[in-house]
Amino acid sequence: MAPIRFARIRRLVLWGAAAIVVSAGIYYALRPQPVLVDVAVAERGPMRVTVDDDGITRIRERYVVSTPLTGRLQRITLDVGDEVRAEETVLARLEATDPTLLDPRAVAQARARVRAAERRLESAKAELNKSNAALNFAEAEMGRARQLLRNNAISESEFASRELDFRQETENARAAGYLVDIAQHELELEKAALLLTDPESSEDSMELAITAPIDGRVLRVNQESAAVVTAGDPLLEIGDPSDLEIVTDVLSRDAVQIEAGDPVDLLHWGGANPLRGRVRLVEPSGFTKFSALGVEEQRVNVIIDFANPLTEAHGLAAEPQHSLGDNFRVECQIVVWQGDDVLRIPTSALFRVGDAWTVFAVRDGVAAETPVEIGRDNGQVAEITAGLAEGDQVIVHPSDRIHNGTPIAIR
């Protein structure tokens, strides 16, 4: 009996052990598996919010030199980059335009008018000589009349009559002189029609020199070749390449955050280190611009000054030729807010639950859904004002496999 009982007990023990092993295997096979996650630590440190956009350098004061009068422009010999001095360097020379060329018939008519004008001038001179002779006779008669009047040889009325004759002849001589002047001017006017047609009638043309208004360099030559230009036509642009500013257009919703004096980091301009700038002006008027995707945007120009002289910013010696010039591209980071001791987490850890911002905090190896309140957000990190403490771990980039209470394993 004893061996049979012992065998029965052994079978029971073996079956029980097998049941325990199978149950444990089933439990381990069906229990939730931890999800591998990446975590970040809520920590305190500096944080700043920036408005980022591309900017273009431009010369602060650009002068467009135009023609003051209509005339014939001589060829401009200056090239882009040439240095100019105020009131010394001659930028361009302007000559009087040539008169219109005449056909043979018009030339014959013009020459006939010239001859007629010459005859009128001769006739006017003859009338002037005649009037001068009459004036001389009247003046002599007036002298004799005065002598006779002193001797009481003539009456007062006769003397007055001779005085009237003298005055009339004086005015006649003056009018004849005016007629000679008019005839002379008419002759010159008729001869002017033959300029550039009759070599004997042509004269040297006048020339106007246009000088530089400022010290600087030539930025662009609008009209290089000789040509007839009208008043107001642009000839060239000049400016001082060392006097630069930066203009960047930002979205209007970002522009309302920017104020004059905000610091700016200038990146990817071509040098090893970023340059420093400062906002001088946010223009009060915006404009419409279409993005590369065809989206209509309202943008506002922001004008930025270099915080230090370019030579210092580039780390160069005094007065070198710096590398930045007009219409160069830079990337602008305008700092609209910054703090030195801010509790922050990556924005990739945040998600919405209803209207509240939420994170998955790591609590005892599981994900704990935790509502938080945020302050500033710069797109990379966000300021936490409530809901987390310094040193708390949060899951970044949570997937749809993570829920409240999901076991997790940190990579």
Residue 183 near residue 128, CB atoms below 8 Å? no
Structure tokens at 240: 């001082």
DSSP-derived secondary structure letter, 246: E
Q: Where are the alpha helices (DSSP H) in 284-410?
A: 310-313
H or E element: which one contains 201?
none
Residue 337 near residue 48, CB atoms below 8 Å? yes
This prediction's pTM: 0.61
H or E element: which one contains 146?
helix 104-150
Query: In this structure, what are the phi and psi dihedrals at residue 297, rounded to the nearest 5 degrees?
Result: -130, 145
Residue 383 near residue 344, CB atoms below 8 Å? yes
CA-nearest of 38, 43, 42 to 395 is 38
CA-nearest of 185, 184, 176, 183 to 129 is 176
Q: Compute CA 73 distance to the chain's CA centroid, rounded to the nearest angstrom.
A: 28
Q: Tell me what pLDDT residue 410 has.
A: 85
CA-nearest of 248, 311, 247 to 275 is 311
In this structure, the strands spanning 408-410 and 35-41 are parallel
- Residue 244 pairs in a beta bridge with 59
Query: In this structure, what are the phi and psi dihedrals at residue 167, rounded to the nearest 5 degrees?
Result: -65, -40
The interaxial angle of helices 156-192 and 104-150, nearest 10 deg, is 160
Report the alpha-carbon angle 314-320-321, nearest 5. Answer: 90
pLDDT of the chain, 411 residues: tens digit per residue: 556 666 677 777 677 777 777 666 665 655 567 888 899 999 999 999 999 999 999 998 888 888 888 888 889 999 998 999 988 999 999 887 766 666 677 777 778 888 888 888 888 888 888 888 888 888 888 888 888 878 877 887 887 887 788 888 888 888 888 788 888 877 877 777 666 555 444 445 568 888 888 888 999 999 889 888 888 899 999 988 888 999 999 999 999 999 999 999 999 888 888 899 999 999 999 999 998 888 899 999 999 999 865 444 444 333 333 478 888 999 999 999 999 999 999 999 999 998 899 999 999 889 999 999 999 998 899 999 999 999 999 999 998 888 898 888 887
Structure tokens at 161: 């009559």
Burial class (CB in 10 A: 0-12, 13-18, 19+), 125: middle
Residue that has been written with the tokens 């591209």 in this structure: 329
